[in-house]
Amino acid sequence: MSFDKLNIIEPILRALEAEGYEIPTPIQEQAIPPLLLGRDVLGSAQTGTGKTAAFAIPILQHLTALNLPAKGPRPIKTLILTPTRELALQIKESFDGYGRFLKIRNAVIFGGVSQGSQTDALRAGVDVLVATPGRLLDLMDQGFIHLESLTVFVLDEADRMLDMGFIHDVKKVIAKLPAKRQTMLFSATMPPEIAELSKSILINPIRIAVVPVEMTVDAIDQKVYFVAKKNKTRLLVTLLEDPAVSSALVFSRTKHGANKIVKELTLAHVNADAIHGNKSQTARQQALGDFKAKKTRILVATDIAARGLDIDHLSHVINYDLPEVPETYIHRIGRTGRAGLEGAAISFCDVDELPLLRDIVRHIKRPIPIVRNHPHAESYPDPLSVTGIAKSPKQMSADEPREPKNFSRFDMKNKSKPQPPTEKKE
């Protein structure tokens, strides 16, 4: 099924094409039609399933139908509550992308930073507000936020809200919402407290369960390289000397970082291009087209820009920067090793990223072998030793592979398959 079969308006279809989206994911295909009809939805889905587009597209279409005034303040019509700053920023950027041809005003608020720019945006008028619970309640108490005109409420990552101790703040927010509204609740898991909450806020919801992205794929050879931040590009250039890296998607945390990586690779005579939100639609489509046509060997992308990309026969995924959300790691590496083909996922880790690596290992419930024998190796503490995951002798020996100097670890014909996880019994 294509997006134009889902009764999506033309400006959003154009935006999806500009973002590189080709076909809807299962959750988008299942959620968009009932959401367009105004139904409540209870979705069991993880990050990386296309969940954000599944609720953002109907919300943008709903707001467009309201014919909001072009000038002057506008009351908040949609509230999206999410547990972390990183997720809030990702969702806001997604709304900006999908609504690029609409006149919808989006804003994001979160704690840990000055509220000045956030309150300025609120004064100007906001249609879609993405928020973390603490800052939202704070600005509501100060009188900057009023939700009387709200028509749509989205509670995203509900189980993470519970895990992070935000559930009481979430309930305080819900108590301040209009009773008449469309509500969507998304949660990767459904612990009892979240199940009870869903019953209290959803009315006759459509239930959607999407099979999660497989935690690990046997065909994907995962490795991590300890390397200082300043040496990451040097290591990348060295690894790309191996012809087995026929096509690689390199993930950068920021748009500026993606541009910098491409610039440095170009200086090293490596054919590379980047896609991110600051590039024009034409430039993004050109970069993606060249990569698919094998005219460009390396494509550097941010997570948001890479969403919806359908790339066949990708030999390598390289995490130049580790993701801040563990589920994003799974979504990234799942782009290689598809359709039964073998693939490789390589992650660079500097000293500041060790906590991120630890979280990823805990999430996937298996160690990622550490390659210590490389030209820019750093001696960092092994995060695997503090994950509570027991390692088999085979896995322990895999932590320090004996690598030949020609980096033949990229030879897919000779690589061994990852060992299955061994969980520690409590």
Residue by residue, DSSP assigns 125-188 as --SEEEE-HHHHHHHHHTTS---TT--EEEE-SHHHHHHTT-HHHHHHHHHTS-SSSEEEEE-S
The residue with tokens 């994911």 is 25
Query: What was the pLDDT predicted at 346?
Result: 97
First to last CA, the chain: 46
d(CA 146, CA 204): 27
Number of other residues whose CB lies within 10 A of the CB of residue 423: 10
User: Are 209 and 179 spatial neighbours (Cβ–Cβ below 8 Å)?
Assistant: no
Query: What was the pLDDT predicted at 336?
Result: 84
Residue 274: CA count within 13 A, CB half-sphere: 23
Residue 393 makes CB contacts below 8 A (sequence gap 6+) with: none
Q: Is CATH 3.40.50.300 correct for 220-410?
A: yes
For residue 410, which of 270, 228, 216, 238 has the smallest C-alpha distance? 238
Number of other residues whose CB lies within 10 A of the CB of residue 112: 8
Task: Show the DSSP H helices in 326-412 as ranges.
Answer: 326-333, 354-364, 393-398
Query: What was the pLDDT predicted at 340?
Result: 60
3-state class (DSSP) for residue 290: helix
d(CA 160, CA 157): 5
Q: What CATH number labels 3-209?
A: 3.40.50.300
Q: Is the dihedral of CA 383, 386, 387, 390 positive or negative?
A: positive
Residue 42: strand pairing partners: 185, 207
Residue 21: CA count within 13 A, CB half-sphere: 24
Residue 153: strand pairing partners: 79, 183
Query: What was the pLDDT predicted at 365?
Result: 80
d(CA 404, CA 418): 19
Residue 355, class by beta-carbon neighbours within 10 Å (0-12 exposed, 13-18 middle, 19+ buried)?
A: exposed
| Diameter of the chain measured on Cα atoms | 66
For residue 325, which of 24, 52, 23 has the smallest C-alpha distance? 52
User: Are 76 and 147 spatial neighbours (Cβ–Cβ below 8 Å)?
Assistant: yes
Sorted by where each begins, the domain ranges of the chain are 3-209, 220-410
The one-letter amino acid at 129: L
Query: What was the pLDDT predicted at 91?
Result: 93
Q: Global pTM?
A: 0.61
User: Are 35 and 323 spatial neighbours (Cβ–Cβ below 8 Å)?
Assistant: no
Same fold, 3-209 and 220-410: yes
Q: What is the mean pLDDT of each run of 10 residues along the chain (426 residues)?
A: 93 92 90 97 80 96 89 90 87 95 96 93 96 97 97 94 90 97 91 93 94 57 96 97 94 94 96 86 82 92 70 88 86 76 90 93 86 92 52 33 37 40 38
Residue 381, class by beta-carbon neighbours within 10 Å (0-12 exposed, 13-18 middle, 19+ buried)?
A: exposed
- Helices and strands of the chain, counted as H and E runs: 16, 14
Number of other residues whose CB lies within 10 A of the CB of residue 106: 24
